[in-house]
């Protein structure tokens, strides 16, 4: 056995366990910070008090604290404690052995087939392990939320259909991965990267054509005043007005939303009709009572579109694509080095020379790459949060600070959510800054301008 840790299975096992423990203790630390932050605020923040009654805030706060504690206990017991035992006592080689014994015919001994058995058994094990937690969550935590649940029979049918679809999807993925590695051998990482690149390109090309049938259908903007305001705004930054799409969403419960998407001739700003006051209807008789009065006034919609134009002006779509590709290339380079490295398999208990493909993916992406994945996730979240602030600043520069603040508050009132989050927890978990953070930032920008002006 070499003294060098890279070839020492025992040292690699301890490193993998240390990574598992440190990564999850960090997640637990963030959860505890979140609990403290939520605990400290027992009154609705004044800025949102007109929209969020104190008793609803109290209920949301209790739910949030309960849910955070549940996540802490679940992480420590199910992820850390059982994770250490599984790694230390060779659970994965044992399960692979069981999967091999499931092969009842000669053709089932092919690695692709054994891999499907392995993944099915592993999923069963994970589900059984998560059962007590899931039951507790359903019975005690979800009950705090007072949401309407569909009838039991429909829920059971839905669960069965979801499970069947998941098994089919998982089996196809496992088979395609196994054959890809068998065919491409040392070029697997290149193959995986090319596959992800093609998928990204396909999504960029297809999403504009998928919105219409699946989310809703494009409708003309009935409101002439709003239309001329938007034309004026898009003219200033030279964005084609024909690429501002109003979508009449199929599901009226779709959260009010607007987003910028795409590049070149496929670029567009999509506005769900739920964002518009009374869904953009002049005739209110077509709306359900709870839809009346929801949505933004014209000036607020223009402010939201100014924010979306900020994403376009600052090239956030290109930056996000570049960032993701950079992440994929780096990840595939690391994968290439680790995937074929025998001592990693020996570290979790496999005999020398036995390197099942599907277990390789599990160990590399599930354990060994954790430090890289955690850090890259943090960097990407920081970037997307920075993009949001930058787009807000753009709307502010265009003179929409007040309207954007009102729009954020109105959207908040329409889609009430718990408003408090610890800044550190938020920066490691959320793609967007919280609504209160965005309001504060806009306020500061305005104050700076006011103090410079006086
Ligand atoms: Zn945005």
Express each pLDDT in 238-276 by its tens digit: 999 888 888 888 887 777 788 888 877 778 898 888 888
SS3 351: coil
Q: Do 304 and 257 contact (CB within 8 A), yes or no?
A: no
CA 452 – ligand 1 centroid, Å: 27
* CATH 3.30.2010.10 intervals, the chain: 204-308
Cα dihedral value 91, 131, 27, 368, nearest 10:
20
Dump pLDDT digits (tens) for 362-409: 999 999 999 999 999 999 999 999 999 999 999 999 999 899 999 999
Alpha-carbon distance of 52 to 420, in angstroms, equals 13
CA 315 – ligand 1 centroid, Å: 12
Residue 388 assigned ligand-binding role: yes
Dump pLDDT digits (tens) for 420-431: 999 999 999 999
Alpha-carbon distance of 410 to 362, in angstroms, equals 44
Specify whether 212 is catalytic: no
CA geometry: angle 336, 339, 343, nearest 5 deg: 130
CA 181 – ligand 1 centroid, Å: 39
Residue 430 assigned ligand-binding role: no
CA 169 – ligand 1 centroid, Å: 32
Alpha-carbon distance of 291 to 233, in angstroms, equals 28
Residue 327 assigned ligand-binding role: no
Residue 1: predicted pLDDT: 47
pTM of the model: 0.86
CATH superfamily of 204-308: Metalloproteases ("zincins"), catalytic domain (3.30.2010.10)
Residue 149: predicted pLDDT: 65
Residue 305: predicted pLDDT: 94
DSSP state letters, 259-288:
EEE--GGG-EEEEEGGGBGGGG-S-GGGS-
Q: What are the C-alpha distances in Å from 28 to residues 23, 46, 110, 382?
A: 9, 30, 41, 20
- pLDDT tens-place values along the chain, 454 residues long: 445 778 899 999 999 999 999 999 999 999 999 999 999 999 999 988 888 889 989 999 999 999 999 999 999 999 999 999 999 999 999 999 999 998 877 787 899 999 999 999 999 999 999 888 888 888 777 766 666 666 778 888 888 898 899 989 999 999 999 999 999 988 999 999 999 999 999 988 888 777 767 788 888 888 888 999 999 999 999 999 888 888 888 887 777 788 888 877 778 898 888 888 888 777 777 777 777 777 888 999 999 999 999 999 999 999 999 999 999 999 999 999 999 999 999 999 999 989 999 999 999 999 999 999 999 999 999 999 999 999 999 999 999 989 999 999 988 887 788 899 999 999 999 999 998 999 999 988 888 877 776 5
Cα dihedral value 439, 445, 449, 452, nearest 10:
130
CA 385 – ligand 1 centroid, Å: 9
Place of tokens 């034309």: 231
Choose, from 34, 86, 346, 392, the residue flagged as catalytic. 392
CA 84 – ligand 1 centroid, Å: 40
CA 388 – ligand 1 centroid, Å: 5
Place of tokens 């993916």: 361
Axis crossing angle, helix 401-414 with helix 298-313, rounded to the nearest 10:
110
Alpha-carbon distance of 27 to 19, in angstroms, equals 12
Strands, sheet with 216-219, edge to edge from the N-terminal-most edge strand: 216-219, 244-249, 268-272, 258-261
Residue 165: predicted pLDDT: 92
Q: What are the C-alpha distances in Å from 435 to residues 307, 377, 421?
A: 14, 21, 10
Alpha-carbon distance of 151 to 163, in angstroms, equals 19
Choose, from 86, 111, 308, 346, the residue flagged as catalytic. 308
Q: Do 78 and 130 contact (CB within 8 A), yes or no?
A: yes
CA 323 – ligand 1 centroid, Å: 17
Total Cβ atoms within 10 A of residue 368: 24
Specify whether 308 is catalytic: yes
CA 119 – ligand 1 centroid, Å: 38
CA 438 – ligand 1 centroid, Å: 11
């Amino acid at each position: 056995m070499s003294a060098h840790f890279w070839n020492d299975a025992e040292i690699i096992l301890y490193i993998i366990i240390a990574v598992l423990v440190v990564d999850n203790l960090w997640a637990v630390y963030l959860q505890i910070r979140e609990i403290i932050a939520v605990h400290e605020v027992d009154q609705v923040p004044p800025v949102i008090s007109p929209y969020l009654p104190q008793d609803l805030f109290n209920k949301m706060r209790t739910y949030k604290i309960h849910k955070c504690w549940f996540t802490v206990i679940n992480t420590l017991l199910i992820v850390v404690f059982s994770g250490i035992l599984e790694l230390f006592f060779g659970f994965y080689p044992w399960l692979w052995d069981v999967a091999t014994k499931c092969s009842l015919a000669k053709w089932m001994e092919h690695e692709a087939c054994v891999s499907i058995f392995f993944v099915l058994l592993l999923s069963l094990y994970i589900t059984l392990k998560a059962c007590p937690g899931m039951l507790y969550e359903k019975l005690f935590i979800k009950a705090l939320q007072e949401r309407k649940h569909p009838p039991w029979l429909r829920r059971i049918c839905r669960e069965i259909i979801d499970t069947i679809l998941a098994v089919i999807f998982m089996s196809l993925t496992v088979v395609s991965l196994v054959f890809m590695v068998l065919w491409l051998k040392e070029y697997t990482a290149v193959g995986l990267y090319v596959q992800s690149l093609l998928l990204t390109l396909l999504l960029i090309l297809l999403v504009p054509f998928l919105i219409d049938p699946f989310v809703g259908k494009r409708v003309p903007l009935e409101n002439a005043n709003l239309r001329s305001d938007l034309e004026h705004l898009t003219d200033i930054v030279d964005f084609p007005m024909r690429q501002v799409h109003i979508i009449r969403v199929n599901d009226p419960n779709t959260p009010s939303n607007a987003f910028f998407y795409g590049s070149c001739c496929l670029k567009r700003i999509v506005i769900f009709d739920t964002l518009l006051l009374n869904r953009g209807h002049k005739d209110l008789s077509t709306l359900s009572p709870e839809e009346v009065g929801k949505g933004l006034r014209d000036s607020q919609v223009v402010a939201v579109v100014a924010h979306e134009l900020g994403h376009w002006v600052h090239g956030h779509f290109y930056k996000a694509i570049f960032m993701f590709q950079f992440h994929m290339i780096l990840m595939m380079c690391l994968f290439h080095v680790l995937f074929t490295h025998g001592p990693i398999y020996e570290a979790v208990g496999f005999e020398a020379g036995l390197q099942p493909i599907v277990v390789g993916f599990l160990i590399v992406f599930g354990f060994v790459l954790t430090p890289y994945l955690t850090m890259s996730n943090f960097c990407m979240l920081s970037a997307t949060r920075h993009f949001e602030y930058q787009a807000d600043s753009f709307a502010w520069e265009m003179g929409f600070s007040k309207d954007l603040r009102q729009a954020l508050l109105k959207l908040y009132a329409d889609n009430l959510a718990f408003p408090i989050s610890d800044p550190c927890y938020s920066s490691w978990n959320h793609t967007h800054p919280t609504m209160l953070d965005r309001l504060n930032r806009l306020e500061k920008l305005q104050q700076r301008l006011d103090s410079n002006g006086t």
